[in-house]
Amino acid sequence: MKAIKDSAAGVVIAIDGPAGAGKSTVARMLADKLQFDFLDTGALYRCVTLAVLQAGIDPRDEAAVVALADGLHIELDRESVRLDGHDVGAAIRTPEVATSIGAIADNIEIRQRLTQWQRSWTRGRRVVTEGRDQGSEVFYDSPCKIFLVATREERARRRLQELQQRGIAADYETVLRQQNQRDHEDASRPVGGLRKAQDAIEVCTTGLSLDAVVDKLLKLVRQRLAKCAELGTQQ
């Protein structure tokens, strides 16, 4: 298990799943408990989308998007997301960004660049990452992959609650419809689409509290890492 022989330098715990399965909150909490860094890969796609919108470029103009993206400077850490030196933590979470992000996520050259960005960022670190393609593509050699799911209805209820807490008016039926559309886009993307890696552990979060999910993941991660360390020492 080569990945673990390298573990003195770095380990990536890869968490994937559909929107609303609880990935982001759970991955952050898990990273805190393990004292690992945290990487929100959706924020990268959101930064590129924001920059494209700010530049007035058509998100479907692949070449123009790539040319712009090549000049961008994105910095992520536990507390902030910075695009060319500006804090864009709130600006990347607007409905305008959400509406245009599909074209950016479909852009294969953008995916290649962001994949490289993610691999460089994690090199030598102990990191919990979350996204759609972490276990299946970006960190296919991760010793610990988790695929987080929840029923469509539960995910839509959580999303509705989140919007209401942010003071945004929304109704359940609309949220569910948008979610179905996003699930379809995420699953049908030929490169970087949402896919469960063969060796990923599926965890269903329906009906579980955040603490219960994190405890469950913590156990699974510790078991996997211990197992891999054991195999590593046997080689």
- Closest contact distance (angstroms) between CB of 196 and ligand DC is 14
User: If binding is defined by CB under 6 A, does position 159 make contact with ligand DC?
Assistant: no
Binds ligand DC by CB under 6 A, chosen from 37, 39, 41, 221? 41
User: If binding is defined by CB under 6 A, does position 19 make contact with ligand DC?
Assistant: yes
- Closest contact distance (angstroms) between CB of 100 and ligand DC is 10
Q: Are 31 and 79 in contact (CB under 8 A)?
A: no
Q: In this structure, how many other beta carbons lie within 10 angstroms of the beta carbon of residue 225?
A: 18
- Closest contact distance (angstroms) between CB of 101 and ligand DC is 5
User: If binding is defined by CB under 6 A, does position 105 make contact with ligand DC?
Assistant: yes
- Closest contact distance (angstroms) between CB of 20 and ligand DC is 9
- Closest contact distance (angstroms) between CB of 42 and ligand DC is 2
Binds ligand DC by CB under 6 A, chosen from 18, 22, 59, 131? 131
Type of residue found at 166: R
Type of residue found at 79: E
The nearer residue to ligand DC, 143 or 192, going by C-beta atoms, is 192
Q: Which residues between 83 and 102 bind ligand DC (CB under 6 A)?
A: 101
Residues 175 and 161: their CA atoms lie apart, in Å, by 10
Inter-CA distances, 73 with 18, 51, 59, 82, 179, Å: 27, 11, 19, 8, 30
Tell me the number of residues near ligand DC by CB under 6 A: 13
What are all long-range contacts of 90-95, with beta carbons under 8 Å and residues at least 24 apart? 91/50, 92/43, 92/46, 92/47, 92/49, 92/50, 93/46
Binds ligand DC by CB under 6 A, chosen from 11, 192, 201, 213? 192
Type of residue found at 140: Y
